[in-house]
Amino acid sequence: MRTTIAGLDVHTSHGAVAGRDVLLWHHGSPQTGAILEPVRAAAEARGLAVVSVARPAYAGSPRVAGRRVVDVARGLQPVLQRLGVASVVSVGASGGGPHALACAAVMPQLVRAVVMFASPAPFVDEPWWFCGMQAPGGLLAAAAGEDERRRFAETDEFDPVQFVDADYAALQGEWASLGADAGAAGADGPDGLIDDDLAFTRPWGFAPEEVTASVLLVQGERDRVIPPSHGRALAAVLPHATLALHPDDGHVSVLRHLGAALARV
């Protein structure tokens, strides 16, 4: 079911989720916020409904200039209140990871656990933050400011080398819907991706050290988009974090562990 709540484009796996425990899905960059079939299936196997919300500037959600990671979480509060959900497992993939964590900081009474797949760590202007990224151009430009990031978008092209063979196998199989959805999001224009990159390279607006929920960090050791150093950096600052490293996985194929991750939280 798709609707608009508090001005945001909201998708739910069931017509009504009031009183339900839900998986709150935070999509990657770029995505439309549509519920992907493997997410729905993994959630239902654990008795969870799915709520997915397009971040500002994606799909039907209007742009919010200058948004921070924490602003997205605050914008989700009235959505979850309107839906009347009982509890939340906040799950983010790639660019959705910081936003999944922000929800635990903003709504500690509602979010009972967080799962972050291949998530960037809080930004520091140091070489290690970019080291291991096959195509860091967008984030490097974002660190220099919005004007530079917009100039980069004019010539930006996808670098196929940033995905490993396991990623392409996932995109041709179970996670084919992710690739199709990313294409649909890209066709809507670059604003969502630009604003995400800007948000990642600014202060997030909350201190990860203050997150009280348990956090499972799931990271592929072959990831060339967000390298394993980011997972280790997050594990070092989160007080209740577990880092699950998968030696054979890249940026997309690591999502095959979604069901197992949900069984752990």
What was the pLDDT predicted at 73?
98
pTM score, whole prediction: 0.97
**Residue spans of the chain under pLDDT 50:** none
Give the Cα separation of 204 and 201 in Å (integer): 8
Question: What b/e string do you get for 166-184 counting C-beta neighbours within 10 Å, with b at 16 or more?
Answer: bbebbbeebbebbeebbee
Give the Cα separation of 129 and 120 in Å (integer): 9
What was the pLDDT predicted at 15?
82
Query: At the topology level of CATH, where does 2-264 sit?
Result: Rossmann fold (3.40.50)
Q: Where are the domains of the chain?
A: 2-264
Give the Cα separation of 192 and 122 in Å (integer): 19
